Structure 1
Amino acid sequence: MKVISIVGYHKSGKTTLVERLVGELAKQGAVGTVKHTREEILPLSGDTERHLNAGASVTIGVTATRSVEIVRQVDVEKAVERLADQGMDFAVVEGFKQSALPKIAVGDVEAKNVVARVDINVPAKELVKIVMEQPEYVTLDSLIAKIKRSPGYREAGAIGTFTGVVREMADNERTEALEFESFDAVAQERIKAIEDDLKKREGILDVIIYHKTGRIEAGQDIVFIVILSGHRQELFPALKDAIERVKAEVPIWKKEKTVSGDYWVHDIH
């Protein structure tokens, strides 16, 4: 999923820009949006309010033409994650100037991680180009949604996944975070080669492998493997071989950051 935030001063025209961008992106895939808004204008009333007050974490109001999902205490990053989990191809966020999301700024507004500055008359196709230049935002559920769109899905009898996480405690040592570095082009080439090799196996219909780089905090996900197969018998050996080959063949290096110091680790998982 590609993610972009549109930020600007009040009445700068950012909502108009969002509308134009969403219209163009919708021609290429599913679009989800997130809006920075005031709590008092959210549609909370009557029984919906009573559900939340009773302790519900999520409540969904459904009408004949639309539904509204209200979730307790979700920040913008979690909202974007929910869109990815639902299989969106694009997420367009309006507002949240201080978030870590990549941003298109309207005018001279101050914001973090601005990747482009535009005026309100910028062509929509130029906005789309900026969006396409952003890195992919990936979750396990987004990869499962993607593999379910595979041409081979009608023949599938199983989907298997592997998720590697940052282990916080090992041998009485607490890890705060891991930092991963890679030769991006080579790493992607090796990952694709592993995917292609596994897809040649009898019964393996599709394979997706994704490995994060940069700093990853304790408890967070590192690597995802999703395999589509005709039967479970072919699935589990392919999953095991996939992660072992990623460890052995993909040029990714890990620095472990613990409470006692930092050091490089040869075994990346």
Structure 2
Amino acid sequence: MDNIKVKSLMFCSSMICIFLGVISCLFGNVAGGGIVIATGLLLILLSQFEIESFKMPGLEAKLRKTIVEAEVALETLRNIAVPISEISISLAARTGRMGTASSHEELYELAMRIKSELTQIKVDNENINIVLHEWFFYTSFDMGRMIIDPFIEKLRERLNELNADLNEWAGGKPITDHIEHDKFIQPIKKATIEIEHARLCMWKKNYRDIPEIIRKCIADCATLSELEKQDFWNEHDDRWEDLIYFVNEGELRRKQVWFETEVY
């Protein structure tokens, strides 16, 4: 079999490995899928070299090209590794949110492994951050939810109190004093709007903006008093520090705590 056929066979095999690896990640087998994708990438790299001969015994392979060819092949590997790695982390981050096997710990290990491998083949930090963007976003989003969800719960408790006050005032009778009735309705409307705003405030935003979005959402809230909001911040200070640290550093501040945390 000549070199062209060998290289074509290796390249086709590599594409099959990468495809099967991505499918494996999609169905939750992140570790296995990562190994299969890595195998595919290795085959792509090897397919860039021409084999002059094999000498028996020892299986000594002589390469016809110079080190320049190796650099060209490595650049090809970089170009292919970035989009493939991006697909892998994106699928793992998304499927991990739908009750599949991708836990916070598995996603972290996958992200760090991809980062390490891309660094070794000298992919620049800008492209590595592009690859890891989905992990950055969904981790920041879930950390933000650990703050915003309890805040929404407080707003709902207050909304229930406001509705109870209205029902007590109305006493099940027809409303005749509409001015007084409006005094009860306005806070209810305001709380309802603030709940909906808080529920959607982080979605499809730049993950780096999530801390400021949360801070502003809580600061602008009129349903809770300033003292109640300060008590809330005191209660969730550790989670807030975790979020700030992750957004700024791209690393987990309290790894084990995050690994043991589930966000639904």
Structure 2 length normalisation: TM-score? 0.27
More strand by share: 1
Q: Which has the higher contact order (CA 8 A, sep 6+)?
A: 1
More helix by share: 2
